[in-house]
Each structure stands twice: as structure tokens, then as C-alpha cells.
Amino acid sequence: MHIGIIGAGYVGLVTGACFAEFGIFVTCVDKDEKKVKALKKGKVPFYEPGLDELVQRNIKQRRLKFTTNIADAVNDSLVIFIAVGTPPRGDGSAELKHIDEVANEIAKHMDGYKVIVTKSTVPVGTGKRIKRMISSRLKAKGSLSALSFDVVSNPEFLREGAAIEDFMRPNRVVVGADSQQAVAIMKDLYKPLYLIETPFVITSVESAELIKYASNAFLATKVSFINEIANLCDEVGADVNIVAKGMGLDQRIGSKFLHAGPGFGGSCFPKDTRALLRLAEKHSIELSVIRAAVSANERQRHIMFEKITRVMGELKGKTLAILGLSFKPNTDDLRDAPSVFLIERLRRAKARVRTYDPVAMENARSLFPDIVFCKDPYDAAKDSDALVIVTEWNQFRNLDLEKIKGMLRQPFFFDLRNIYDPEKVKKMGFKYFCVGRT
């Protein structure tokens, strides 16, 4: 089988490379000529563990190719994945102009039966929208009766930093389709996953579209919930780690996403929760739980900044060492990262910032040209008044704290990810502050 992937961003590139690894011939299309030129040489434009090797291997074996010409993908492919961006608009709703552009281009170049699959995260009703647009375009050029197609929703559930594993060994594959022929083709495409008994959810297009939003909104709610419990723990003297463990052992709740911290970020949770709220408003439905989760997440960032100012007082002229810039480990993604909010607040308070992140510093330079980017955590701590861990990279879990203490001007240590033992750190002479573990 030959498939096309329209959009060689994070989702499109991971999807294309992984399908190529399954032995399928893949054409990835992107209108960014510079990006395509780099991808042809095997250079991935973002950080994702293992993706460089996967792309390079499948280019070499001629199962994966890149182009700016969408006609190449449409003409050669039975299945065409739409994986373009759906960024938030001013009101939080998903911007679908790129989806519309791709739908029109597919209709323009169609020469036979196609399965058109939305891989992008899109609001309910987008599948029908695509179907109407393509049908209208085919009718306009007199090809509607001669050419048939099906529209499928196949949402992605890729975690940044673990995307390849998530694609190769997913918790489930969701296929939303109104055609048994399209379902059969999608099952054939994902056939290698049947060998590891991956659950398949076969449903309507609308249900598949909503599954993605509902999943992210629920996980975001778990994060906001445990953060609010952590704030209560700070006041009553409880330990949120123990509370979360006691909760997570209940199989109805589960332990995942019960880690207190500065709040969720990234390209999915903030965008998708807001888009779901706008969709609900459009249909006069109040999603009060999700709205509360979004508000709690925004508030949590302010609480983290206030935690620092409450302890350190006036920040003007003081230097803080920020460890971790990406919104989570194993990615260079800074979108809605807690670190970005924190650094902006520190700069407004006239504080100086020294920072280190294993992979995200290059992306941060354009955002913060006036902060100091350091070679390692110890360089960041040098002559700083406080150390602040914002992202829980593994290499931050075993720092030489004696060395860190010797480099700091003052022994303030803010562990916003709760990765250190409070008692041990305090015994070393640090003024240690974490989240929900008073």
C-alpha cells in the first residue's frame, strides 16, 4: 500500500516514519520548501527521541519520501492523511483554514477512489465539512459521479518524548468511518498492530473526533485536580505524593497524571481544552468541570510564582537559575510551557535569569534574548540567588547538591516537580520549597 501524509509537522512526520517502518510506502508533503529539503537529508526539525534514525533508515530503504507537490501524494496513494496544524483562534476555537486548503487540493488532484483521513485534532463535524468541500469541488469539475471517496477520523494519541513507542504499541487505535470499505482499508493499514492485540475502536466519524478531545480534557482535569489538592496539602501539612499514591492505587482512578507541579502545557492540553469549551458553547452546553480545570491550570502558574516571591521577597536585581524550559522532558517544545510564564514574570519583576535545558535552549533564544543560557545545571547555579526546577528531566534528578549549594549565593531551592526528598535536601542546608509537601 502507498499512503500520503499532508503536513510534515510533529504528528505527520511521526505518523509517516512509523508507517514506513511497517513496510508501507509513504509520501510526506509539506509546503515549507526549507523543511522538505532538510527532511530529504534525514534532518528532523524538532527533537523527538529515535525519530532521526527512523526517518533516515526509511529514506535509505526508499519507503519514505518528501515533497512539496501534493499531487504526488494524492495520485500515488490510496489513503491520504491530513496532518496539518489546527492552531487556536482568538476565541480558543480550532482554526480549520489549513484543513480546508488541503481538502480543496485533494479534490483538485483526485483520480480515483481515496480514503481521506483526518489525523489532526479537529472539532466534531470536521469530517462532514471535508466531505462537503470535496464533493462540491468534484461536482464543480464534473467528476462527482466518476470519483468516490470516504472520510475517516483516526485521531492521534502521541505523547511528545514517547511518540514512536505510542505509535508502535498504542493503548488503542480509533477509527471513525461510515463505510465498511474504509474500515477494512484502515484495518489493513494497521495490520501489524493486530499481532500485539491492540484494541481497535470502530465508531462513527463524530464519536472518533470527540474521543480525542474528551481524552485530553480528562487528563488535563486530573492534572489540575491534583495541583489543587497539592495547594491544600501545603496549608494543612499533608504530603501530596502520599495522597496521590493512595488515590492512584484505586484502579478506578489510576496513578497516571497525578503528579503535582506548575501546571500542564504543550501543544495539546491547553489548545484542546479551550477548543472543546468553544465547541460546547456553540451547542449551548456548559462544560463546567473542564472550564474549572483550565482556570485551575492558569491559576497554578501564578501560585508557583507567588511561592517564590513569598520566600524571597523583592526580586529586583536577584538572579534565579531555571532548570528546564520544555513543557515536559524529552522534547524541545516550549508551547504553553510553565517555564515561559515563570521567566516572563521574573523579567517583569526585574530579576535576572540563568537557565539550562538539555534540548530546548535553541528554541528559547528567540523568546528570551536577554537571559543567560548556560552549559549545564552547575553553570546556571553559579552566582544565582535561587535554583528553580521547572521541568523534570532525568539528569536533574541526581544533581551534586553540595556542588550546587557551593555555587549559589543563597541556598534557596524551589523544586516545582517534587523530584527530591525534602528532609534530605533541608539537612544539607538548603531552604527547600516544593509543591504540596510542606
- 340 within a domain of the structure (yes/no): yes
Pick left, alpha or beta for residue 266 (phi over 0 → left; psi -120 to 50 → alpha; otherwise beta): left
The residue among 352, 316, 357 whose CA lies nearest residue 339 is 357
- 208 within a domain of the structure (yes/no): no
Question: Does residue 257 share a domain with residue 197?
Answer: no
Complete DSSP assignment for 90-123: TTSPBP-HHHHHHHHHHHHH--S-EEEEE-S---
What gap in Å lies between CA 156 and CA 174, rounded to an integer? Answer: 8
Structural domain total, the chain: 2
- 85 within a domain of the structure (yes/no): yes
Question: Does residue 20 share a domain with residue 152?
Answer: yes
23-64 tens-digit pLDDT: 999 999 999 999 999 999 999 999 999 999 999 999 999 999
Inform me whether the pLDDT recorded for 131 exceeds 70. Answer: yes
What gap in Å lies between CA 343 and CA 157, rounded to an integer? Answer: 30
Question: Does residue 271 share a domain with residue 136?
Answer: no
Grid coordinates representing 237 are 501539612
- Residue 28 catalytic? no
Q: Which of 144, 178, 203 is the last residue of a domain?
A: 203
Question: Does residue 137 share a domain with residue 43?
Answer: yes
CA-to-CA separations, 205 to 185, 216, 284, in angstroms, rounded: 15, 18, 22
The residue among 210, 156, 150, 220 whose CA lies nearest residue 180 is 150
User: What is the side-by-side order of every strand in the sheet holding 372-373?
Assistant: 372-373, 352-356, 319-323, 386-389, 412-415, 431-433
Question: Does residue 198 share a domain with residue 327?
Answer: no
Q: What is the pLDDT of residue 271?
A: 95
What gap in Å lies between CA 381 and CA 354, rounded to an integer? Answer: 8
Note down the domain range covering 280: 241-433
Q: What is the pLDDT of residue 145?
A: 67
Which CATH number do you get for residue 176?
3.40.50.720
Q: Which of 140, 174, 203 is the last residue of a domain?
A: 203
Inform me whether the pLDDT recorded for 194 exceeds 90. Answer: no
**Catalytic residue among 18, 28, 233, 268, which?**
268
- 216 within a domain of the structure (yes/no): no
Question: Does residue 185 share a domain with residue 59?
Answer: yes
List, in order, residues 6 or more apart from 351 with CB less than 8 Å away. 315, 316, 317, 318, 319, 320
77-101 tens-digit pLDDT: 999 999 999 999 999 999 999 999 9
What gap in Å lies between CA 316 and CA 418, rounded to an integer? Answer: 27
- 220 within a domain of the structure (yes/no): no
The sign one gets for the Cα dihedral 228, 234, 237, 240 is positive
What gap in Å lies between CA 6 and CA 70, rounded to an integer? Answer: 7
Question: Does residue 72 share a domain with residue 190?
Answer: yes
- 222 within a domain of the structure (yes/no): no
Kindly report the average pLDDT of the chain as a whole number: 96
Lowest mean pLDDT among 116-120, 127-131, 381-385, 434-438: 434-438
325-356 tens-digit pLDDT: 999 999 999 999 999 999 999 999 999 999 99
Grid coordinates representing 20 are 514506513
Question: Does residue 176 share a domain with residue 267?
Answer: no
Beta strand residue intervals within 159-249, DSSP E: 173-176, 200-203
What gap in Å lies between CA 25 and CA 19, rounded to an integer? Answer: 8
> Residue 186: is it exposed, middle or buried by C-beta count within 10 angstroms (0-12/13-18/19+)?
buried
- 171 within a domain of the structure (yes/no): yes
Is 166 within 8 Å of 158 (Cβ atoms)? yes
What gap in Å lies between CA 388 and CA 354, rounded to an integer? Answer: 10
Across 379-390, average pLDDT: 98
Question: Does residue 81 share a domain with residue 176?
Answer: yes
209-267 tens-digit pLDDT: 999 999 999 999 999 999 999 999 999 999 999 999 999 999 999 999 999 999 999 98
Question: Does residue 392 share a domain with residue 280?
Answer: yes
Q: Which of 151, 183, 203 is the last residue of a domain?
A: 203
CA-to-CA separations, 176 to 245, 311, 391, in angstroms, rounded: 36, 52, 36
Pick left, alpha or beta for residue 105 (phi over 0 → left; psi -120 to 50 → alpha; otherwise beta): alpha
Question: Does residue 87 share a domain with residue 186?
Answer: yes
Grid coordinates representing 254 are 489510576
Inform me whether the pLDDT recorded for 146 exceeds 80. Answer: no
- 225 within a domain of the structure (yes/no): no
The sign one gets for the Cα dihedral 214, 218, 224, 228 is positive
Is 329 within 8 Å of 394 (Cβ atoms)? yes
What gap in Å lies between CA 104 and CA 382, rounded to an integer? Answer: 56
Q: What is the pLDDT of residue 143?
A: 74
Question: Does residue 247 share a domain with residue 176?
Answer: no
Beta strand residue intervals within 226-338, DSSP E: 319-323
Chain-centroid distance, C-alpha 194: 26
What gap in Å lies between CA 167 and CA 332, rounded to an integer? Answer: 20
97-120 tens-digit pLDDT: 999 999 999 999 998 999 999 999
